[in-house]
Structure 1
């Protein structure tokens, strides 16, 4: 039972009796987390040769509690395990890996033990607040699996099974990262079994409706190959196996009376963790020997380790890098944990969390000592609360963030998301040039204007939607397909060398030629492609320019073809181009002067940014750097002002004179420079003067 402590009471440290006031609070839930972790540690230490992925006694206790809490959820987990094992067997998995997948399936819904009844059995649709509360079930499940010291493969399978197969649908997942196959199997098995059962909020679906549902979402939410394997397994006897297992109970689940006892012990742990996930931005549990046993997902994100799975380890200052609120380093024995351990009473400290060398986040850390019923010191709980914002994002916020990263018409990534992912993948390349190469595929629909002219804009939109759908289905799960604008698309291919990416582009090109359209059955389209790969000591802009140049070569040479371009080949072609005008001729300077109150200035600045879709690049006292307009991938300026990006630098200076009502006389020094390549000085000057006139309408001037 969880009530059995793994710490030797004979050596436990009793609570000191020197203070006039003593904290003697007992958190049974958090103590149970420590005991659960110690029991698992003892098992793995004593059974070093065991093939069990989790102690059978602990597995029985958790499943007994789940069975007592909600028998339907327990039976659902069993059937998901059967389906997942059937798929894995079809894919020729090893027996040991299949066993671990079964455990992941059995435990994937244990977070529901802590969900209130009014949510677990709600008959209607979930509200945004309901989704936020339900999301804690996943976080609590992660906490429990971490406390049980399960192998990372099982924990990763459970965690990643909640995510979309396609990175496009998961805005928080960097390009180049793939879900484990176990997670993809578990996701499909979970969906099939859930849809086959009658729920309080909907009727059960039949087998054919479910497979149609999964096939429709293959390539986006689910792995197409896993969906295909599931259908094959079901047709080869899996469906009969599921029906025969529907009425059977599990032999190793204890009686309902014992289940009640288990629910009382384990339920305390789940209730405590559920409350903590709601109340704090992050927390950690540390035992009396200063071993960190549990670090929840929120705490990992706070300290810049969002994508990592934590494993128990000794506490060190580097594990939780913090300074005092004035950014001064803590001295030896001055960390909140050290002070709390010495005083053995709760404390609260304002700190700065160091996320990297340049970014800090203000937070409050609360430290609580954990004592058992005999007053013996068992460990520490640290809770983090951010000062400036709430890190827990609602379901509604996540939906809005996802929408902001998508193209409204086609549903694939938009230009902003593409630029973000390009920056991320370039950072990874700079950190590991040998292991993080990438290629860029640039494509354009041939003669797209004539499609709109001859068939209408509705058909033109259908062409764009169908092409985007094809790219989404044909691209691998770790790749990114994006619409850059108009009929231009980009595919970002991590870990692909130039000729491999060219082969990928050729496959796209051939499949695009096979597309058919409901609005114009006789219409056939082709596309031109340009491909480039990052090369040694190369900047991102250079790669994109080569891909753009390669696309131009494809169109110049007859369209409907793929062209690859290496850096040395681009250098040869550019050597014939007349050098551009010196940069000094592409600078516009002016001044805005008037009585400008600080609050008024800030308000007008915000209005200008909002109304003109400007981007704030840098802000310091008295200086603001803005970007107006979007940069094209090739770096060239377009004809439309929105495709003529400029950098606006504004510096504020105070005059000695004062204006009415005490307002300071201020001047704004304005400097405008182009972003990208501009060949004609008069084009830039016209854009700069127009930008300056826009600024004048927002700020009071003389």
Structure 2
């Protein structure tokens, strides 16, 4: 159970005053053996009220333990809802004394080790009335007596639900908490219920047995696990800064000797209950005064540091005494000491450090320094809270490792394709929004397959690692480098225009030429580079596609070179291949692996283009170019819904579609014509070096069939060609005509 109930149900539980660490508060183990410690705490908190509590403890220790747990929960609820001090005192006193009437119940009933009989239960139910008489005789105020009278009354039978008095509210709250603690505490005749089961039962009874709003509010408190709230409550109960006057709840003078546990740090340390706490707290606690003298050093601090309390008490504090170092194991300098920061600047913050013991064992700790303020408001020292977080640190290390594995290429230790897909959209959007120049570089090791075939796949891995290291060394710290797949890599260079990116790529290319690879018998590699600058209208696909086209030009031009593309490809970088389409020839070069066909649809161009938009969306096509008569699409078969074999290696394709309006004869109606759409479609592999001719042609045909089906188009044969009356001249000539 990880909530405030831990404070009340563990051998060490509850927050140390001013910090979220456990205290040795264990109401479930309250008995005559530790009654002195509990009596000291209640006496320090309630003064004269404690005498009634001590009487209950002497009569029935389990009832006293239960009352104390209810009082703690009540105090937590009141603190969270920021009740006024006099109201909170009423709530706490009512909770602590709500079972005081059991003093008048016979022992044979009170201590019966099994379920009570009906007449015995009736006798037990009288304890509320007996408690009322005891408190009235003790001089309790009318407000407290009214609150006591409301205990045990069901919500639906209450007659004061609309009363503006605070006492009825206190009664209804204690009824809820009393039931919760009874359910979650082990009884002689039944096992304890779980926290969730008990809260569910209380919520279920809201509106009948319990106030529904208070039931819900208390459940939220239990489940919130608010450690800061726990610290505030523990401080209020154990080391209060100011004296709270509970005597107003009783019509008598406050007895002497009820002052809080001293006004100085040293006096507090001498308190019996406080000593018990220090001996059982799980976290290390070190008290240091304003002269840097160590005043206390608890058992956990001894365990953490290997230094006994006798060896450090009254010594001058330095980080070396506790073996404090940074998380890397380097000695912590005095200027970095958290306690010195508190005393010199008043700064209080949690700090992740480590402790190196005398046996050279090192583990991670969380250090929190809490100021100790005197009654006059002066800083008189501090409490250093040391928490062992080695398990947390190990968990954080594992999470970091998993994060690295999720976004890192395991071979090259660069970012992987998935991380590139996450970074690229942000990269493009940021530089478009700020107007700062940014470039994308794609590079590919030349003839990589020959390396694997000639030297082995291990040598190929070594070549990839060497190239990746060169990319990392050559880039600025702000640049992003990722392995795109296979032997291809991508660099994102912010605040870098096209010329600067081209020069960077050229520098890397020349370095690679001069870098021998041992596993390649000291031969050197070469690589080709494509460079593109981010433009205002770019998407992630278009800027990456433009850089990829530059890479393809570089490879078609003989490899081992850099090609930078801006708005359009410069004429000096056009490839002279046999094609009637000028520079379009290298984009859609007709070879034995490309297919070409003519399709027509029975609908006008506007309808056909709308269908084509749907094809682009469904097939995740990247639009490389579009004008009134021509569309160029890039498709990755992995992203398309075409049929695929499980063992098939899928390729990437470019689809060129020329669009024209035609008039065709209407069958059976002489002289009538209709406007249709003619599409000249060419599909080719994006990788001209790909040797899988049959697989490429098969995938190309499947893409063609998919396009034909999506557009409801027909292949244009000789018979249909005779039905064409004329081709309607386009409004503007195609760029590729």
TM-score (norm 2): 0.35
**Bigger Rg over Cα:** 2
Normalised by the length of structure 1, the TM-score is 0.37
Question: Larger relative contact order (C-alpha < 8 A, sep ≥ 6)?
Answer: 1
